[in-house]
Amino acid sequence: MSKYVAFPENPDWMLYLPEHLHDTPLNQLAIPGCHDSGAYWFDRSGGLFPDASNALKCLYSVFGRCTCIYRWAKTQNMNFCQQLKAGIRYFDLRVTTKPYTEDLYFHHTLYADKVEPSLRDMNTFLDAHPKEVIILDFNHFNKEMEITRDDQLISMILNIFGDKVCPLQDMSSLTLNTLWSRKLQVIVIYHREDIKSKYPQIWPGSVICSPWINTKDVNELVHGLDNHYDPHPEKHNKNMLFSYQGVLTPDTRFIVANCCGSLKTDLAHKASPAVVKWLSKKAAGPNKMNICLIDFADQYDFMSTILALNQ
């Protein structure tokens, strides 16, 4: 299988799903996502984000302007507009503050793009594709994101997407037909339980199960994914979204030992073909495949494989 498979764009794949799936809850559809969606570009001169580990700070001091760290922090080739056109509908978003500015930034060890213009780009796409629905999962907040910055981020989200934001509701009613009839296109998940009473439009992190298989070994990854994929009803909560993280994760020691390599060449190129092969044998539906995310989602036939599960 080629590492760099050119796939057709899928900007309206939800619109063209088989009609019987229009009344299927979103947690029973196969939805492509990408891991660390905002980690496609970094400000190499911006330094490390506030909660970087001491080990990474040492690496930064040794390797200078992030050349090594950049290669290990980057998880995607496509920017948000390209991800949307390709068919990505689940976005794994990490947001942080930055010293000496009120702006908020995406991050993955390094500072990435500003949040506000990125969200506006997403909204422009949704305006042009009114039948597409996206899930924005804001998670991994660092200590600098205090409650006042939570309010800043949530206000920004609600102001940009406006009436497109879907309020919290029962999963069984979360179907495309229901969303389309109400012109709702954005589900916002926010992993801070203390804000759910303040913002009824925001879904708490408890609505999604997203087990992380913390390993550098591809066989352990596939075994772990299989353990979570189980068609028995008691294994899954019908009122939750379920995300399969098809990624390998380096630790600092691994990065140091492979400092001339990258996340793409040393891990993603091992994980992606194995995950796609595993994915191709699965099915969408109750207690089965729902969201799956990988690094470098433009490769290894990931998009066509997961979308083909929606039969």
Can you say whether residue 285 is alpha, beta or left, with left for phi > 0 and alpha for psi between -120 and 50 degrees?
left
Higher-confidence residue of 234 and 5: namely: 234
Other C-beta atoms lying within 10 Å of the C-beta of residue 115: 22
Quick check: helix, strand or coil at residue 282? coil
234 pLDDT higher than 50: yes
Residue 54 pLDDT level (bands cut at 50, 70, 90): low
Residue 177 confidence (pLDDT): 98
Structural domains present in the chain = 19-307 (3.20.20.190)
pLDDT band at 5 (very low <50, low <70, confident <90, very high): very low
pLDDT digits (tens, 9 = 90+) for 237-267: 888 999 999 999 998 889 888 988 999 999 9
Query: Catalytic residue numbers?
Result: 35, 108
pLDDT of amino acid 230: 73
Average pLDDT over residues 68-75: 89
Who wins on pLDDT, 72 or 32? 32
Q: Select from 286, 287, 282 the least CA-distant residue to 306.
A: 282
Burial status of residue 162 (CB atoms within 10 A of its CB: 0-12, 13-18, 19 or more): exposed
Per the CB < 8 A criterion, the answer to whether 233 and 280 are in contact is no
- The answer to whether 280 touches 302, Cβ cutoff 8 Å, is no
The arithmetic mean of pLDDT across residues 79-87, rounded, is: 96
Q: Residue 233's pLDDT band (boundaries 50, 70, 90)? A: low
Mean pLDDT of the chain: 90
Structure tokens at 142: 């660092």
> Taking 60 as the threshold, does the pLDDT of residue 3 lie above it?
no
Q: How confident is the model at residue 1 (pLDDT cuts 50, 70, 90)?
A: very low
Residue 64 buriedness (CB in 10 A; 0-12 / 13-18 / 19+)? exposed
Query: Quick one: which H or E segment has residue 115?
Result: helix 115-128
- The residue whose two tokens read 């040492």 is 58
Q: Is the pLDDT of residue 215 over 50?
A: yes
Burial of 47 (0-12, 13-18, 19+ CB in 10 A): middle
Residue 20's contacts (CB-CB under 8 Å, 6 or more residues apart) are none
Question: Residue 36: left (phi > 0), alpha (psi -120 to 50), or beta?
Answer: left
Cβ atoms within 10 A of the Cβ of 164, count?
21
Which is it for strands 90-98 and 101-108: parallel, antiparallel or unpaired? antiparallel
- Which letter does DSSP use for residue 173 in this model? G
The 3-state DSSP class for residue 134 equals strand
pLDDT over 90 (residue 7): no
Q: Which tens digits make up the pLDDT trace of 223-232? A: 999 999 875 5
Mean pLDDT to the nearest integer, 136-151:
84
Residue 113: which pLDDT band, with cuts at 50, 70 and 90?
very high
R_g of the chain computed on alpha carbons: 19
pLDDT at 303 over 60: yes
Half-sphere exposure of 287 (CA within 13 A, CB side): 9
Q: Determine the average pLDDT of the residues in 179-196.
A: 93
Tell me how far apart the alpha carbons of residues 296 and 94 are, in angstroms, rounded to a whole number.
17
pLDDT band at 296 (very low <50, low <70, confident <90, very high): very high
Taken in order 231, 237, 239, 245, is the CA torsion positive or negative?
negative
pLDDT for res 147: 65
Q: Please give the pLDDT value at position 259.
A: 84
Residue 149 CB burial class (10 angstroms; 0-12, 13-18, ≥19): middle
